[in-house]
Amino acid sequence: MIESGELHADVRRKRKQLGGPRLAWITWNELASTALLRWTVVQVHDALGKQANRVLPRLLRPVALKSLRLPEYQVRLLETLAREAGVSLEEFVFTSLVNLETFGTPEEIERLLPGYIEAIRFPDV
């Protein structure tokens, strides 16, 4: 991604006088933004382990949804669409819900759900 220009990095030589290896310096925002383009929030959260709650905004942290009940045809439809898309059910639902967020501006949603803007704009808050 660095070579293609998708990810900005300051590339420097370590111990230039000794002909050392080139190292890429990437800002936290660049790294976090790239990670969220490549992996789902759940995957990033799981990879961060114990650090996840310190790093991710509260409303961006995954929570289990245990009380959801849907007609079986809707569950089977979600499973089928996820399988056809080649993603997990969790990832398919996540992506579908992201598309639903367009019902209003971020500022309108923030009034209804304080912390929303911090979550969706992470890490560029």
Closest CA to 41 of 93, 2, 85, 83: 93
pLDDT given for residue 93 in this prediction:
92
Residue 52 lies in a domain: no
Domain extent, residue 84, equals 63-120
- Residue-wise pLDDT tens digits, 3-38: 666 666 665 555 555 556 666 667 778 878 888 888
Residue with the bigger pLDDT between 57 and 103: it is 57
Residue 29 lies in a domain: no
How many domains does one find in the chain? 1
Contacts of 82 (CB under 8 A, 6+ apart): 88, 89, 91, 92, 93
Residue with the bigger pLDDT between 85 and 101: it is 85
56 class by beta-carbon count within 10 Å (0-12 exposed, 13-18 middle, 19+ buried): buried
Q: Is residue 106 predicted with pLDDT exceeding 70?
A: yes
Give the pLDDT band (50/70/90) at residue 105.
confident
- Residue-wise pLDDT tens digits, 48-84: 999 999 989 999 999 988 888 998 998 999 999 999 9
Residue 76 lies in a domain: yes
Residue 49 lies in a domain: no
Residue 111 lies in a domain: yes
Residue 113 lies in a domain: yes
Residue 77 lies in a domain: yes
Unique residue bearing structure tokens 């819900």 = 97
Residue 31 tokens read as 């790294």
Give the residue-averaged pLDDT of 78-98. 92
pLDDT given for residue 48 in this prediction:
92
pLDDT given for residue 59 in this prediction:
92
Residue 33 lies in a domain: no
